[in-house]
Amino acid sequence: MIPGKRFYLPASVFVSGVLLLISGFSHVRFVGNFVNSDELLPADWTRHIFRDGYPAFGFQLPRTPSVFPDLLLFSPIQILTGSWRVAIFGLAVCLLVALIGAAGMIVGRIAGIPASRATASCWIIVFPLLLIEMAHSGAGRHFMAIQAVSHGGVFIVSLWAAVLSERLRRAWQNSLAILLCILCGLAALSDRLFIFTFVIPLSCALFFVPTEALVRRRLLLLVALGSVAGWFGAELINRQADIPLTWSFIPNRIGIFLGDLGASIFFGTFVPVLLLIGAPIVARRFLPVFPGDAARFYWAFAVTAIAGTTGLTAAFLYEDHGSSRYLDAAIWWPTIFAAAVLARLLERRPRLTMALSSAIPAASVAMVLYSGIAPPGSLWNWQHPVARCLLGRDAELRDGLAGYWQARAIEVSSDWRLQVDPLRRNGEIYDWGNDLASYSASHFDRSRPPDYRFIVMDDLDPGAIASRFGTPSEMLACGDSAVWIYGERLVPTSSRP
């Protein structure tokens, strides 16, 4: 045993993970995946409730409220630091550390090695994968798990819940059982995809692997109680309506899903899935090579989670490539098992594990030195072009309107020096992931309505906007965006109840 290895290996993973994200957030292509209107919702919600003083339940959360872990991590960081940028970075670090930590615990059980070495093996696999994705597309599929309000948080919770369940299956502890029940409640309240990433997979794994009947019943009852409480608790939250499960649309959605399976998605995601599913069938020695029955438990759990989330996505949820955010199980479980195979290969080579684990932080330092920490376009100085344009004008404009995908990004990136509320394409009020009180009570002075004087025209219908609000007194070009400026206060309305 190399002295200090137990602490050195996890420390090297943590340091290199933080450095990797520092490097990533210094590139505008990477940052772009974290600053759209969906990803910025936690920043807007936190400011809206805790700084501007609007009622807590007036703000409509997404259909997946993402209370835990997303909001419960993001909001305290933003409140304590006063920076939404630090909160984005902090949440990404927390989720990445939690993800690799859970994966390390799972790999340790599968390969029968200490968690510190298992975590290092995970990172030896994951680090180059993340580097390749950053180089190819700015931020690829594996990075979706650390984006806010994108289902990644609840997937990570499902990994930790699986770790607790496997441990309880071997040795029951009341304290761990209570913790698991609480996790299930928070996760089901936050994202109902948890049923497919944990609840159903656990049920299948417990029947696939011999488990004492009493323990199995207690585990399933515990998980059911927590999940049911969370499911009905979500009904008390002001959130967007659930996606209707329209059975007649299934053939069309599956056709779109299969049509979008290009080479990159197929070879990058589903070939590893097929290898994971087929390995125990084709090679009978695949699972027996691992000690104990943990490999069988996690294999059954992973295959069920992958099949459930992929089937649900293809049949009911798939719209475009962005819908791959539902497929964290298919993206990450093959990676975890690949790390388990590597861990077995490195089991008798501790010095090689140490050398590789030392090389990764060195590479991370080199990346940060090359890219810098806060170059133009980095997270630390990123600003929407329209926000930069309007804030640079001599004539002050503070209140305006824009399409959904522009409004929040402009407002948040201005550090709330602008108030920009969303409109539908036809110019009506957009009631989706926001607070209708914003249209009648200004962020700057809640005793008066916002003094809307501009409209950002991206994604809006010029004819409908002109018919509803009249002809602008000035048209301003802000980069690729046209901004219509008015001399009188605009009053947006809605025809919906």
Percent pLDDT > 90 in the chain is 70
Percent pLDDT > 70 in the chain is 95
pLDDT of 329 over the 90 cut: yes
- Angle (nearest 5°) at CA 468 between 467 and 472: 75
Distance CA 123, CA 126 (A): 5
Binned at pLDDT 50, 70 and 90, residue 3 comes out as very low
pLDDT of residue 263: 55
Of 24-28, 80-84, 242-246, 487-491, the poorest mean pLDDT is in 242-246
What would the pLDDT profile of 401-448 be if each residue is shown by its tens digit?
A: 999 999 999 999 999 999 999 999 999 999 989 999 999 999 999 999
Q: Which two tokens stand for residue 139?
A: 């931020």
**Of 34, 133, 11, residue with least CA distance to 87:** 34
First-to-last CA distance in the chain?
69
pLDDT of residue 222: 96
3-state secondary structure of 252: helix
Higher-pLDDT residue of 317, 495 = 317
Provide the CA 352 distance to its chain's centre, in angstroms: 33
3-state secondary structure of 483: strand
What would the pLDDT profile of 243-275 be if each residue is shown by its tens digit?
A: 777 788 888 888 888 887 775 666 677 788 887
Give 101's DSSP letter.
H
Average pLDDT over residues 216-233: 96
Q: Which two tokens stand for residue 53?
A: 């003083």
**Of 449, 407, 405, 403, residue with least CA distance to 426:** 403
Please, what is the average pLDDT of the chain?
91
pLDDT of residue 1: 43
Which residues, 6 or more positions from 356, have their beta carbon under 8 angstroms from its beta carbon?
120, 124
pLDDT of 46 over the 70 cut: yes
pLDDT of 179 over the 90 cut: yes
- Output the CA–CA distances (angstroms, integers) from residue 410 to 88, 282, 370, 485, 489, in the order listed: 16, 53, 30, 16, 20
pLDDT of residue 280: 73
Higher-pLDDT residue of 229, 250 = 229
Binned at pLDDT 50, 70 and 90, residue 284 comes out as low
pLDDT of residue 289: 59
pLDDT of residue 344: 87
Contact 206, 82 (CB under 8 A): no
Q: How many helices (H) and strands (E) in the chain?
A: 20, 5
What would the pLDDT profile of 92-124 be if each residue is shown by its tens digit?
A: 999 999 999 999 999 999 999 999 999 999 999
Of 393-397, 469-473, 484-488, the poorest mean pLDDT is in 393-397
Q: Which two tokens stand for residue 287?
A: 């699972």
What would the pLDDT profile of 353-387 be if each residue is shown by its tens digit?
A: 888 888 999 999 998 988 888 898 899 999 999 99
